[in-house]
A and B are shown apart, each in its own frame.
Chain A
Amino acid sequence: MTELDVAPTAPSALAKLPLDALHRRLGARMAPFAGYEMPLQYEAGIVAETAHTRRAASLFDVSHMGQAILAGAGVARALETLASADLISLAPERTRYTQLLNETGGILDDLLVTRLPGVEERLLLVVNAARKQHDFALIAAALPRFDFNPLDRVLLALQGPRAAAVLGALLPGAEDLAFLGWRAFDFGGAPLFVSRSGYTGEDGFELSLRAEHAADLAHLLLAHEDVGPAGLGARDALRLEAGLPLYGHDLDETTDPVEAGLGWSIGKRRRIEGGFPGYARIRQGFELGPARMRVGLLPRSKAPLREGAALHALEDETVGHVTSGGFSPTLQRPIAMGYVAINHAKVGATLSATLRDKRIEVDVAALPFVAHRYFRTPVGKDAR
């Protein structure tokens, strides 16, 4: 038998994660992804790891992602020339989601930007693994007046409804961070960056620290009865259930933020003032509505509908395509997302797709498939 959609990569070309030995001890099945040997799943498997994340908490190693600090007076204003979020108003110790755009408004990458505390103006960037060389070269070339330093740090994600209690027991105060809040804690005498964010739709944290302290932190977290390891397979299932787009699949240089359903990330001032690449197309998208939209898709089949499948209106005209598709462990059914021409993109519309010579009906559905459960700061508390 053979897997239909996995291209082999020479193992010698792959980089190892700093915690590679730990993953192997935990029984990880490793697979190539973005130039790294990554844990695809552990012994429990993708379905159980997904369920555990929704029920308790899971630890993911996402050290393949790119981390960097961009610093200098006026750096937020400068980065606004490449990305569409309102970064000038970003308060210290707050994180914002945005995209790097090309001249036609296409998405070069999506990333998280955190304004670091301190007198000096510094931004912490976390970008996609497969795009880090591209992004870092772009930023260094476009903003030469600023200090740009890629960071060599492990990045762990602790995700799930028990994450706050587990992390708070280890780092008092972490459980009080607001959603998209950020703080540096001390861990073993070294700074541990904690951001209340993630890619699962659950409450959770992303934890960045130097490799020499990372195994200690991972062991402490995994020793907790509520925490299990989870791999990229579960991460992909969780983000698809949460309706979150994946760069290189649901987002690329041909998709713009408005049609991708990411218009919310473009602040009001930026919509009016522009000043970022592709503003003309994006303004037009806001004013006239986009020509197509990223939507949820529910195939009326037991078989998953996979990336690349064409979507047809009932009269056979091609009106879109699937960009991510798989099986939802939480809903126990196939789910997908993709782009559909606006006049067919209404929730409840029925399209069709061809799956191995069989015609199946596909319903346009609202995203997310599984409701987000991000942390909401209790009323009366400071949002920090």
Chain B
Amino acid sequence: MSDRRYSKDHEYVALEGDIATLGISDYAQSQLGDIVFIELPDVGKKVVKGKEIAVIESVKAASEVYSPVGGEVVEVNSQLGETPALVNDDPLGRGWLVKVRISDPGECASLMDAAAYSSFLKTL
């Protein structure tokens, strides 16, 4: 999707109106390996840009997911409770994590587009 934007911490947001769908990049899921549990926030929770919004547990380790935008959680991906591996299988699609009603659309502007993120990955 052309409107998907990425953070340097490997989260993405896909914006439709004022609703941002958050997830982790394909690179991030491949680095984590097999995902076995995801702790998601409650609907209604206020999130702050750069602060923890979820925790992803792989077989090896727990990893924090930081929200690239601030706002309020309006929906979480309830399928991940039973099938956390959706994030491995389809991180940009069915493996989305959280939908946030964003408070400042300008925050997305500071994120990378797909081409810039792809260049960024080559520097790692």
Contacts and interface: CB of A to CB of B under 8 A. Distances in A.
A233 B59 contact: yes
A233 B63 contact: no
B123 to A, nearest CB: 15
Contact of B60 (A46, A302, A334, A356): A46
Interface string A306-318: 1000000000000
A170 interface: no
Contact of B39 (A47, A48, A356): A356
B9 A3 contact: no
Contact of A327 (B28, B36, B81): B36
A4 B63 contact: yes
Given A41-B33, A46-B33, A1 B56 contact: yes
Residue among B55, B59, B63 facing the most chain A CB atoms (10 A cut-off): B59
Given A1-B11, A1-B66, A4-B64, A47 B37 contact: no
A81 B57 CA distance: 44
A4 B32 CA distance: 12
A6 B33 contact: no
Chain B interface helix/strand/loop/mixed: strand
B61 interface: yes
Given A1-B9, A1-B11, A45-B33, A326 B39 contact: no
Contacts of B65: 1
Contact of A3 (B11, B34, B61, B81): B61
A2 interface: yes
Contact of A237 (B56, B59, B61): B59
B10 interface: yes
Contacts of A237: 59
A233 B34 CA distance: 11
Nearest to B34: A47
A263 interface: no
Given A1-B10, A1-B24, A356-B39, A306 B62 contact: yes
A233 B96 CA distance: 26
A5 B63 CA distance: 8
A118 B15 CA distance: 74
A48 B33 CA distance: 11
Contacts of A306: 61-62
Give the interface size class of chain B: 20 to 34
Contacts of B66: 1-2
B61 A6 contact: yes
A125 to B, nearest CB: 29
Nearest to B25: A1
A18 interface: no
Contacts of A73: none
B39 A4 contact: no
Interface in B1-29: 9-11, 24, 28
Contacts of A45: 33-34
A47 B59 contact: yes
Nearest to B60: A233
A303 B57 contact: yes
B64 A326 contact: no
A326 B33 CA distance: 14
Contacts of B55: 303, 356
Given A302-B37, A306-B62, A356-B39, A2 B57 contact: no
A51 to B, nearest CB: 11
Residue among A2, A48, A306, A334 facing the most chain B CB atoms (10 A cut-off): A2
Contacts of A35: none
A327 B61 CA distance: 10
A3 B65 CA distance: 9
Contacts of B9: 1-2
Contacts of A46: 33-34, 58-60
Interface of A: 1-6, 29, 40-41, 45-48, 233, 236-237, 302-304, 306, 326-327, 329, 334, 356
The 3 A-B pairs at the shortest CB distance, nearest first, are namely A327-B36, A47-B34, A46-B59
28 contacts: A1-B9, A1-B24, A1-B64, A2-B9, A2-B63, A2-B66, A3-B63, A4-B61, A4-B63, A29-B33, A40-B33, A40-B60, A45-B34, A46-B33, A46-B34, A233-B60, A237-B59, A302-B81, A303-B39, A304-B57, A306-B61, A326-B59, A327-B57, A327-B59, A329-B34, A329-B59, A356-B39, A356-B55
Given A2-B9, A48-B34, A237-B59, 5 more contacts: A1-B9, A29-B31, A45-B34, A233-B60, A304-B62
